[in-house]
Amino acid sequence: MADSTNQSQEIRDKAKEFVFPSAFTYYEEPLVIEKGQGATLIDADGREYLDFFGGILTVGVGHCHPEVVRRTAEQSAKLQHTSSLYLTEPYVHLAEKLAQITPGRLQKSFFTNSGSEANETAVLAARSHTGNHEVVALRSGYSGRTGVAMSLTGQAPWRMTGAGTMGGVVHLANPYCYRCPYEQTYPSCDLLCARDMEQVIQTSTSGKIAAFIAEPIQGVGGFIVPPKEYFQVAVEIVRKYGGIFISDEVQTGFGRTGGKMFGIEHFGVEPEVMTMAKTLGNGAPIGATVAVPEVADDMGGLTISTFGGNPVSTEAARATIDVIVSEELVHNSELAGAHMRTRLEELKERFPIIGDVRGMGLMQALELVWENKRPAPDAVNQVFEEARKRGLLLGKGGIHGNTIRITPPMNIDTADIDRAMDILKASLQQVKAA
Ligand SMILES: Cc1ncc(COP(=O)(O)O)c(C=O)c1O
């Protein structure tokens, strides 16, 4: 457990008294953060940490990037709010920019405040456009915390007690090769997990679907990377049954996967809708649903979002994208990601508890297991506390909580990656079987 002074403890005590306890925090003693710069966070007691989770893959260009800070501050001083009833320049120019950097015919945007709302909007658009209701999602997927988003989510722990699921969502087994749901091996499996889409639609829906929603790499699920042909096979079946494809890029967007701006671009499929949030605003609350024109145009009825497309958030997003492009972070994510991957593979050679290393670019994970692939969430917790003591912050994931997610800012350098990997190694050395 980390040392704590009165400053952090006072804030923790107040949180116990005044904050919903279901608001989940990491660590035995929750960390109280005061400042951030680049890849560094400083807690309320003045301790420094290398931030290798970035507020859940959000701080893509580093904490308080000067260009994002400057433009956000200037916009705050000029105009903070209008609602979506009026147009503003940052709002419309961000929509134009997204049309330019997204693949295929994606063109029109609707802005909200979060990834959950972006996914709600995407499902609404798919239902309006197709006239169909049912949506196929993936087991172990994560779509957010609104009613529809929790129903799309394929992980019981992230559905709140009593929330259950709303109708119209069915789940397909996920392309989790390390623990194949069909106990097959790629490629001799012939992509059974993708081909099962047809059976699922024929047996568990009304026979016509509105959409298939999936993350190119499952994020909260533990960075599960599908085989390269997966989306081509699955999406062809989806379209045969009237559905469109929604690519949830909330975690994988904006260069995180290395070499491509969006995760789905690695898989040779063009979605009709893309959802994004997190790195889009580098911490400013913003979600976007970007659609091909015919899907956007078919949204029936009236809709507003009071804060969606807020001038400060949209200017923060424009500044973030400008930084990603001008600092060539999509490329850096590939290079730095390859370096980090090599270091992680070396750790796997040394520590049998690392069952799998997976991910793309600067989105890498370690799945920790005991004998016979028995999930080791207890070991993840030990690594977490040890790494924190040594000044490194990581993320967790996986349906069993036994995956460590590692996602530094995309402008990270190899020296900081090496520092983090040394701390990770020292922390893994401390793991004891229960
Ligand atoms: C893939 C994915 N989609 C949607 C969401 C929901 O985003 P938010 O927490 O901004 O509502 C998340 C959040 O972690 C996510 O990882």
- Domains, the chain, in order of start with CATH, read 6-61+330-429 (3.90.1150.10), 66-326 (3.40.640.10)
* 251 pLDDT above the threshold of 50: yes
DSSP string, 134-146: EEEEETT----SS
Ligand 1: centre distance to CA 403 (Å): 18
| Averaged pLDDT for residues 26-34 | 95
> What pLDDT is recorded for position 5?
59
pTM: 0.97
Ligand 1, atom 1: closest residue by C-alpha: 250
Ligand 1 atom nearest residue 278's Cα: 10
Strand pairing partners for 51? 393
pLDDT of residue 387: 98
User: How many residues appear in the chain?
Assistant: 434
The ligand 1 atom at the shortest distance from the C-alpha of residue 287 is 10
In the predicted model, what is the mean pLDDT of residues 253-280? Answer: 98
- pLDDT of res. 263: 98
Interatomic CA distance for residues 110 and 304, integer angstroms: 10
Q: Kind of pairing, strands 273-276 and 244-248?
A: parallel
CA of 205 to the centre of ligand 1 (A): 26
Rounded CA separation 82/262 (Å)? 30
Q: Are 212 and 246 in contact (CB under 8 A)?
A: yes
Q: How deeply is 80 buried, as exposed, middle or buried, from its count of CB atoms within 10 A (0-12, 13-18, 19+)?
A: exposed
Degrees to nearest 5, angle at CA 283 with 155 and 66: 150
Around ligand 1, the residues with Cβ closer than 6 Å are 56, 114-116, 119, 142-145, 215, 219-220, 248, 250-251, 277
Q: Is the pLDDT of residue 1 over 50?
A: no
CA 423 – ligand 1 centroid, Å: 28
For residue 317, the CA-to-ligand 1 centroid distance in Å is 17
Q: Could you tell me the two tokens for 103? A: 């693949």
In this predicted model, what pLDDT tens digit does every residue of 297-335 receive, in sequence order? 999 889 999 999 999 999 999 999 999 999 999 999 999
Measured CA to CA in angstroms, residue 325 lies from 101, 120, 253, 275 at distances of 10, 29, 13, 20
The average pLDDT across 375-392 equals: 98
Between the CA of 201 and the centroid of ligand 1 the distance, in Å, is 25
What share of the chain has pLDDT > 90, as a percent? 94
Pocket test for ligand 1, best of 113, 140, 142, 159 (most atoms within 8 A of CB): 142
Whether the CB-CB separation of 392 and 48 falls below 8 Å is answered with no
CA–centroid distance, residue 422 to ligand 1 (Å): 30
